[in-house]
Amino acid sequence: EVQLVESGGGLVQPGRSLKLSCVASGFTFSNYGMNWIRQAPGKGLEWVAYISSGSSYIYYAETVKGRFTISRDNAKNTLYLQMTSLRSEDTALYYCARRTGRARDWYFDFWGPGTMVTVSS
């Protein structure tokens, strides 16, 4: 059974940093591209970042480019999101999501339950 479990969320002050993790199980993690997607309270979904299976390709939303860094450790089946210079508008539930295995697809076939990040003084 595919499982994705995020952790690392919490309350952080504006301007500070936080690192999220997502541990994957039930599939060959190193074969799949992975994403971070967030959902602000009461709002819709916003794609944040993508990393390819071997970390060769990395993309970011403009709203986080230069502040967030996505990475992965295939030996540990773990996806990361390093967040710096956090702003109140970064407050959201952060999901990790697996990209489907088909080469041209940009869909998300499995999602974790999310970890909440609250940026507030």
Binding site for another protein (CB under 8 A): 4, 44-47, 59, 61-62, 95, 97, 100, 105-114
- Tell me the C-alpha distance between 109 and 92, whole Å: 21
Residue found under tokens 């710096």: 84
Residues 96 and 117 sit within 8 Å (Cβ to Cβ): no
**Minimum CB–partner distance for residue 114 and another protein (Å):** 8
Residues 50 and 70 sit within 8 Å (Cβ to Cβ): yes
**Minimum CB–partner distance for residue 112 and another protein (Å):** 6
CB atoms within 10 A of CB 64: 21
- Tell me the C-alpha distance between 94 and 9, whole Å: 8
**Minimum CB–partner distance for residue 32 and another protein (Å):** 14
**Minimum CB–partner distance for residue 19 and another protein (Å):** 22
